[in-house]
Structures are given as structure tokens and as C-alpha cells.
Structure 1
């Protein structure tokens, strides 16, 4: 939701499909096409270079440091500026990006990674092994994915254009972690990585290798990127996703902060904007009936409610069980999304499209709506009748709608409830302190590995300070699987653990609705806004 919408939301452990930072999923997915058209139906015009793309962006990020957070608002801008050693292709498979290739020794404890020669940073310098090693060192400290991988890394050595990573034990998820599109292992100059340390990058430190470079940030108004003329492109045209050949056709991209979706739709109609993000599903019919606008949909994780498990009342499992039984998720989803094209019901940690990550085992309690059981459990619990605070970001109608219906349903079984709305940036700030909330409503954009599931990152605000030896053991087991059968077995047990311990309550899978001008050509959303390899026609 890709957190379409954490650590500002954030996370991490990829595998083969993704998030996200903070969103949803459904059966309709037109990523890779324009308005659902096949390749043969799309434009036959030659790409036009130049011009400016104006993007109406729904939520201003706290930072553009793609390593520091898993928030989708950071990701969707950051991956234009920065690139990773390895990245996911259009089929969610791990492929090299800044890396040229790699070798693994016989006992799978030493990875030798070669780096592409001549890859340029935006400051004109060339990527070296020292830059990569320094980036890995920072990733191990600040990234939710990197922190997990770091437990297995014994040493990182840089030699010419080669990195040698020695592990203290077998960790088969290393390359998957390195290609995570959340809290990413983006490669930055060593001097910047070392000076930034564990703090988010400042604007003058936003130096990457991507097809666009950071130009300026007028807070509250817009973030401007410009074309990187010396971009070092790969040559693989069919990889897609976050790797392969990237061409920056636009001279400039303006990410304009526009929080009112009706303003976004009107702006597309009047050519004020070329692309609009996060449009409420109830505007779909308006979008579909406007000849100059194409709807763009893509899977984007799911919405959840996370309890604060560090203190009463949700430190009591019986109260969390009462919460799950009290919620009629079908009613909640209908109120939140309206149009059934944009939500679906599935209790698994990953979505069916993620074939290697999906298992429906262990999800029997997903739709366990039973108000009588909820009332009984609440009476048996230590809940003392004190109002619980549901916190949500009021920038998003779905969060607001979910919160309002949840309040009604919880009050019906005996909870007292107070709604606590905040603007997005304040909401993220408040999230860090358990005194501010008892339940958080949030959307998590698509994830690609159990390590990336930020709502389950142990002892963090994003997971509501979840503590679980069982989950920790499952993560360790998953890192060493060698067969699909083993993977599926552990994924089923992971699902079961969530419903046994209830660190969060899943509402529904979501699909995001974005919109674009029909003049924007060859656009492929994949799992978020990406504006390389796309261009704007003057027709």
C-alpha cells in the first residue's frame, strides 16, 4: 500500500515476489500494459526524448534514503535515483544490476561478487569495490533487511572490482536480501555511506547511479529529479522490473505533493499532471469514462491492524483473539474500497501471484468473525474497559474508513474506542511511541520474502513490539531451505504462527489505482511508479 503507504512505515527478506512501504491486491492487474491493452494494441510511435513529467504524489516522504526506510513514498522516488547490486526483474527473479555476476564456494559460505566496470555516480565518480563495501556496511546497520542478513555475515572484503562476502553459516537468502526493493541495498559513494552512518541521507548526500538524479526538494510542494546524462545502462531489454536496460527519456520529473485525489483527477483532465498516484476506488468510474485518462492498477500488498503488544490491553493474547473475532472483514473492505476490483480476501502472508511464496495453509482463522466468541474472550481477558486508541493517517480515505468501521465493530463486543487521526508525517512520528496508540491501521505494500514483512520485524514499532521465538526460528529455517517443498512447508507454518499469536490482523489484499495521461506511452507500473523506459507523446 509498499507500509502502498514503514518504518515511515518499513522491513525485509525477499524471495521471488513482492512489498512496499505501507497497501493492496486484487485479481485485476494491468501492470506492463497501458489501460489493459496488449503490446500489439499499444502505440507504434517512436519514443520521444525530452520534456517534463509532472507526477501528483499522494504523500510526501520523510526521507528519500531508500536504504533507511521501507516506506512506499520513499521507494517510488528513491529507485529512480539509486540502484542495487542485484534487483528483481519483471518476474520477481533476482538478477544483477550494478553487479556483473557472482560465484559461490562449495559449502555456500563465501560469495564472490564482481562489479560492472565504469558505472557512474551522479557526482561523476566511478563505482568501486570500496563504495560497495561501505554501502553494505551501512545497509547492515540501518536497513531492516540488512540487519537480518548481517547476522550471517562474517566479513566483507573489497578488492579492485570484486566483493567477497564470507558468511558464518549457510544463508541461502543473501542475494534475495540484496535485491530487496524495500530498505534496499542501494550503492552510494563510500564517503557518503560512512559520513551518513545510521542517520538518513541529507539532500546533498542523495548521490546514486540511477537514470535520474536528485535536483531539489521544496518540502510540502515538490521533489525534482533530472535526467542523468552519463547513466551507465545495462543492455538486457527484456528483464524489466528494477533491472535490465533503463532509458531516461524525460529531462525532468516533478513529484508534486497533491493530497486531494479529486484535485489529481481534475489535474489530469486539464493536463496539469501527467500521472496521479493512489486514487480512491470510488473514483474509478470517473477515470474509466474520461477519454484522456488511463487507469493503472497493480498489486500492492494488504491492509492490516497492528496492536501494541508491549503493554495492556493487547499484551494479552485473549484480547487480540477477541479483536480478530470481532472484525467482519468483508464489511470493512466494502466500506474501505467499495469497488470489488480493488480488494480480495486471502489470509496468507503473500498473495497468490507470488507462486513461490504463497501458501494457503494455516489461514483458517482469517475470516473467523464471531461476535459471541469475541465477547466471551474479552470477558475472560484482563481488559479493564479503558478506551483503546486507534491511530490512522487521515490522508488516506481507506485508512479512515477502516478505522471508523472497526470502531463500530469493536464497540459492539464491549471495547471502548477512541479514534486518533493524524496527517501522514505526524502519524509516522507518533507510531514510534506506544503511548500514542493501541491499534494502528496501515497498508503494507507488496513484500518479496518473509524477511521483508515489516509488520513482523521483532521488537519494532512497525510490528507493535512483537516478540516471538517461534517466528524467529521460522525465519532462521527459511534462510536455509533448498527445495520448493521445504519452502512451502515453512510458509504454511508462518501463516499458522500469525493466527496463533496474532501480531497483526489482516483485513484484505489490495490493488492500487493510479492514473496517467493517455499521452504517457510504454508505461509499465510493475509494483509502483517507475518512469524510465516511458515517454510522453505530443499527440
Structure 2
């Protein structure tokens, strides 16, 4: 472990261990006090794929359709839908009584504009955008979509829960350039964003929206009744894990989103605290290259890093060396899902010979170009990845600069397409919930959309053609064949380096119930027993 990180964590453990037993009373049962995984710097959940912004998005905004625990599409803001016999004309009927947080009614034209903006930023939405002939309002409660050819997965695209979700906004906000953030947070979800109490780096506040009418079905994932049991939700940003652990033990906060693995044993011994894994599918760690700038605009150099990377090193670092919550996965699709076959070519399988990796770099033409790794020092579920990569690349005699900042700064900087000398970057790391990258329709990290794609701007026309075939394939066997072709192309061209699967624990005050089985920390349904 990085010496500075070890000292800080060790000191935190000592400090937390000295905390008195958690005997504090809840100050106000109407308030949920939450410690998020990272600072919230980007507020627009259509502008970025950052998980913290998506959690914020689901608190404030709502979607036309949701996904239940079985992965099936369910109506959410929608009352229902219709589709023509030829599959080209769709109508979506809104539920009665929907209102925006500013008191205005939700109209079909708001939702049509929201879908248009979302489709310009999302991989799945972008798949049907070329087929779109028109989209608008048939009346105040009916959205009408006309396609040039059938797209049977339309509702699946609108309902998906990860990367960029199709959040509905008032038309005046939805007309904002999708590559710029909207200026206001006006949604129709169960909680309202309190702008005048927002302080990036410290505090985020939401208040229950009394005008929200939840569905009557039980809550499952993003589907069903989103019942707000709290009048107020307060996020307290705590970059230091020991501080968050101590606050939870003392009853000063109610829920810590992502627990530092080093502090798990301490919390388990504490009184009044429950440690759990709410997401049964796990997370996939990834190393992402900047494909626009040297040296990783060179496929051979990317392949050398793929060959040299040892998943066991990354997984032990990210989980505190806890083998119960990680497993290697040498696939670009999540292991345990239909396409998660470990078919890494033999020449890239480990254990890696670093001398061979150095030779691969030389043969590919690496000449000492600077590699800037942007890395969050405040996010234990990602930060150790950057330390492992920096150490590996130094062993490969690459010219490495590790830039450690908060996660919010990483999110901002990864949007830069400039060279490293002008504030750009070469590598960053992140994780993805397994369901968010399990097929070609939804994964942004393998798609080769170039300048219109995900951060790193990987371009690969062949992958785009294979993905288009997957969307229209006649049966599951053909889809599986195409997914494997994309996997082999990804091993050749290396858009990312997969780092394996692991689980992230959450912790909360005992007595807090109603947690959903999801990768995101949704606030609805949660309540005191």
C-alpha cells in the first residue's frame, strides 16, 4: 500500500477506535443524514455518467419507465404505452397528476424534449437516434415517437438505470445543449434539491416534494412506489474515511454509502451499526485510456499495459486484501452475466513478464511521453487503482505523473481533450455496476463512438457495426456470437483494461430499513423501523 495512504488509514483506525460507544439518540427521525461516496460537483445527470451524480439525479428527477428486481421494464411516470403493428410508431401515455417541483404540470412536450437531449449523450439512446423520424406531443399527456424502422428495445433504452439515465426535465431545461449542464435542478421526483443550502465539498440538501404521487406497487430498483419517508435528506461530504466511520459510530450520521474496507472490522464490532452488501451483482473495475493523446493513441502501448496489469494486485488493493469480496474476471463483459466468458488471448495471459512488457512498449514506439494518471484521493472504492497503476507503469519505465485530487475534480478534468501539457490526462480509473455494462447496447466503455462517445473517445467503426448487428439480431445465439466478436476486438484494440469484479459494502445505523437491492443508494423506501 502507498506509504502516505497507509499512515493516514492507520491513524484513522486509531482515532475511530477511540470513539465512545454509539449511544447517541437520533436527533430527528424526519431527517436522513447520509455520507455519499464522493463530493457532488456535477449536478446534471444527463451531462455526466458519474455515479454520485446519478444518485443525485434519481433523488430529484424521475423517469418514464423503471427497472424492477428481475430486470424487467415497468411504467414509472408513464401510465402505459402503445406500439404500431409495424413497430415504427410508439405512444407513451403519462400518469395523471404529475408535477414539476416548481408546481407546473408535467407535459408530454417536456418529456419529448428530455428524451431528445438524453439520446445525444447516452450510448443506448444514440443507437435509436438515427432511426428517429419525429418525436413530440400528441396531446398534453401523450408522447408520440415515429421511427424510420422498428426498434424493439426502445423502452429498455428509456428505462435503463446506469451510465446516462433518461431523466425527465421541464422543456425549458431539456432544450439546454446536452454538452453543457442545465442551470437549474427542477425535476418531478420524490425529493426537491435545495439550491440555497448546496455547498460543494461540504453539504447537499433535499426536501420531500409533497406534490409527488408515488405508484402503488412495491418499490423495486427504479420501479414501483418511490415513497419518501423523510422530510429532509442531508448529505455530509466526508472525504476522510475515518471521520465518516467515527460519525456513524457516534450516531452523528445515519448512513455511509461506501465503507472503506480497512474500517469494516471496526464497524462490525461497533454497537448500533450494520454493515451490508446491498448490490448482489458487484462492480467491475476499469482502467480507461485517453485515446486522443499520446502515448495511448497507440494500440501497441495499450496492449502492453493490458498484458502487464495483474488483476490480483488491483483487487487486493481496492478491497483491503479481503478475498471474500473480489474475484478476477478476464473478460470485458462482467463475469456471471450471459457474455462474461474469459477468453483473453493466450499471449496476453499472466503472470506477466515485466521485461516482455517493456519490450512490447519499445516495439510499439514508446519514447518517454508523459503519462498523467488522474486519481481520486477521497474515494476508497476507486483511489487504490491509481496507486497500483502508477507503480506498475514506473516499473515499466514509463514517464508517470500521478495527480491525486478529489473525485469531483477528476470528473471535471476527464472531460478535457487537451494534451497533458495543457491540463489533459492519460488514464483514469472507475467502476461500473455489472448490469450497466453487460451488453453492447448499454456499455459506453467498449463502444467505438469516437468524439461522440464516452470519456477517452475510443473510435472503432467495426465495434459500432457489430453493436448495430447485435441490436437487430434474430436470436440469442447470434447476439452471443456478436458479443464475443466485440470482446475479441476489445482485447486487440484495448479501449479499457478490465480490473476484475468486487463488492462495495455500505453501513448504516441499525434500525434503518427498506434498502433496495441496487448498486446505487436510492433514498426512497428507506425508513426507520
TM-score, with length taken from structure 1: 0.84
Which of 336, 355, 364 aligns to 1:381? It is 364
- Residue deviations 1:421-467 (CA, integer Å, cap 9, x gap): 22222222222234232222232344154343232352258442211
Q: Would the alpha carbon gap of residues 144 and 60 (structure 1) be closer, same or farther in structure 2, given more than 3 Å must change? A: farther
Deviation at 1:351, TM superposition (A): 2.8
CA contact (8 A) 1:318 1:377 kept: yes
Query: What does the per-residue CA deviation read over 1:165-208, in whole Å, with 9 as the maximum and x for residues that have no partner?
Result: 11122323321110122322112222332367653222xx3222
Q: 1:212 to 1:459 in 2, by over 3 A?
A: same
Task: Say if 2:102 is the partner of 1:119.
Answer: no
Deviates more, 1:258-267 or 1:137-146: 137-146
**Whole-Å separation in 2 of the counterparts to 1:302 and 1:534:** 26
Residue in 2 that maps onto 1:439: 427
Superposition deviation, residue 300 in structure 1: 4.6
Counterpart of 1:335 in structure 2 is 317
d(CA) in 1 for partners of 2:286 and 2:179? 29
Whole-angstrom distance in 1 between the partners of 2:306 and 2:260: 26
The residue aligned with 1:45 is none
Q: Deviations over 1:251-272 (max 9, x none)?
A: 1111111111111111111111
Distance 1:101 1:425 in 2: 38
Deviation at 1:406?
A: 2.5
Aligned 8 A contact 2:46 2:166 in 1:
yes
Rounded Cα–Cα distance in structure 2 between residues aligned with 1:221 and 1:483: 50
Residue number in structure 1 paired with 2:158: 178
Partner of 2:200: 219
Secondary structure at 1:305 match in 2: strand
Check 1:132–1:456 CA distance in 2 against 1; reply closer, same or farther (3 A cut). Answer: same
Q: Point out the more displaced range, 255-264 or 423-432.
A: 423-432
Question: Residues 496 and 69 (structure 1 numbering): CA distance in 2 closer, same or farther, change over 3 Å?
Answer: same
**CA spacing shift, 1:195–1:504, aligned 2, 3 Å:** closer
SS in 2 for 1:295: strand
- 1:235 corresponds in structure 2 to 216
How far apart, CA to CA, are the structure 1 residues paired with 2:166 and 2:457?
25
Residue 98 (structure 1) aligns with: 77
Q: Distance in 1 between matches of 2:186 and 2:318?
A: 39
- For residue 407 of structure 2, what is the aligned residue in structure 1? 424
The Cα offsets for residues 494-515 of structure 1, whole Å up to 9 and x where unpaired, read as 2222111111111111211211
CA RMSD of aligned residues (A): 2.4
- Whether contact under 8 Å (2:39, 2:237) holds in the other structure is yes
Are 1:134 and 2:113 matched, yes or no?
Answer: yes
Aligned partner of 1:313 among 273, 290, 295: 295
Paired residues for 1:72-471 under 5 Å? 72-160=51-139, 161-181=141-161, 182-194=163-175, 198-202=179-183, 205-216=184-195, 217-237=198-218, 240-297=220-277, 298=279, 299-337=281-319, 338-355=321-338, 358-360=339-341, 362-364=343-345, 367-371=349-353, 372-431=355-414, 432-433=416-417, 434-435=419-420, 436-446=424-434, 447=436, 449-457=439-447, 458-460=449-451, 462-471=454-463
**Structure 2 unpaired stretches of 5+:** 1-27
1:328–1:367 contact (8 Å) kept in structure 2: no
Deviation at 1:130, TM superposition (A): 1.6
Distance 1:305 1:359, change over 3 A: closer
Structure 1 residues 410 and 137: alpha-carbon distance in aligned structure 2, compared to 1, 3 A threshold: closer
> Alignment partner of 1:207: what SS?
coil
User: What per-residue deviation string (whole Å, max 9, x for no partner) do you get for residues 225-257 of structure 1?
Assistant: 1111221211122x5110111211111111111
What is the CA deviation profile of residues 64-91 of structure 1, one whole-angstrom value per residue up to 9, with x for unaligned ones?
3222221111111210211111111122
Is the Cα contact below 8 Å between 1:312 and 1:383 reproduced in 2?
no
User: Higher RCO, 1 or 2 (CA under 8 Å, sep at least 6)?
Assistant: 1
**How much does 1:54 deviate?**
0.3
SS at match of 1:248: coil
Work out the number of aligned pairs and report it.
Answer: 484
Report the secondary structure of 1:151's partner residue: helix
